[in-house]
Amino acid sequence: MPSSELEAVVAAIREEERQRGGSRLGSVRPEVTDLIARKAAMNAHYVPIPEGVAWRKGTVGGIPGIWFESTGAKSSRVILYCHGGGFMFGSPINTGHVTARLARAAGCLAFSIDYRLSHEAPFPAPVEDALVAYRGLLDQGFAPGSIAIAGDSAGGGLAVLLLVAARDAGLPLPAACLSCSPWTDLEMTGDSIAECADTDVNCHLPGLRMMAQAYLGGADPGDPRASVLHADLSGLPPILIQTGGAEVLRDDGVRLAEKARAAGVEVTLNVIEGAVHIWQYIAPDCPETRASEAQAGAFLKAMMDRAEV
């Protein structure tokens, strides 16, 4: 059962949806001007960055983003973070509280990339931007074993796509990857999409279809550069996958774990009972978030420790 804290957040979201007449974000395809306005509005209403974490705008390899540094952070280590939003919404500041808390839990720096969204550049621009940023961290002198990749939702899939792109480019790979509530299948074939349609308040099939269409621009959703579920995952570093038991993308994470294990990748899968899509974002102080945050921080730190030996 989900915690009472998480249940209260979910109930509040349901009530807000009821007052809007049952509409959800993404149910109708917005115009580009609407997307720009929505991104600005989301950035203006973000959860505050937690105390003890400083942030500043910056660039890595020419890719803009935000640096996060917690008190006592090990400055030789960094998490390259890919925010969610279906490749259509979101930004480093909008998800900054998630990135900041992860960096604090892992005891290192974090850089969240402001990759191009679907109205700014076509697929596969986010993968290209993420790869440029990863090269940039290497060029700045960060050792591969002192870098971890992380992301949530679309960014959770993008984080693994970045690993594949770095491997294919012949680059040294990072120490580990954290993939939260990942969107790994842009064809939306997972059983959980139907099974959890009534339990997930943050994600639904019409919105996923709309965002996939906008992002792909006619490209094949089965392209392994779009849907990491179809990619060759061999040779990748250890991956922690966290997904909610009540979210429509649950099986995107579960199937990613199965495929990665079959490819010989060291995988840890944690399906959080009762958690909806990106619960860390909507309920930062609930027990499920604190537990998954602690697990993620310990995992990334342990993998960087191991890589540096």
Q: For residues 28 and 301, is the Cβ–Cβ distance under 8 A?
A: no
Residue in 70, 83, 247, 288 annotated catalytic: 247
Strand partners, 110: 68, 79
Helical pair 154-168 and 125-139, crossing angle rounded to 10 deg: 60
Clarify whether 119 is annotated catalytic: no
Distances (CA, A) of 179 to 28, 71, 134: 28, 25, 16
Helical pair 154-168 and 250-262, crossing angle rounded to 10 deg: 20
**3-class secondary-structure state, position 66:** strand
3-state helix, strand, coil in the chain (%, to 5): 40, 15, 40
Clarify whether 308 is annotated catalytic: no
Residue in 179, 204, 277, 293 annotated catalytic: 277
Kind and range of the H or E run holding 11 = helix 4-19
Residue in 112, 153, 179, 192 annotated catalytic: 153
Rounded Cα distance between 44 and 165, Å, is 33
Backbone angles phi, psi at 259, to 5 degrees: -70, -40
Rounded Cα distance between 268 and 265, Å, is 10
301: number of Cβ within 10 Å: 19
DSSP string over 184-253:
--TT---THHHHTTTT-SS--HHHHHHHHHHHHTT--TT-TTT-GGGS--TTPPPEEEEEETTSTTHHHH
Rounded Cα distance between 65 and 67, Å, is 7
Clarify whether 17 is annotated catalytic: no
Residue numbers annotated as active site: 153, 247, 277
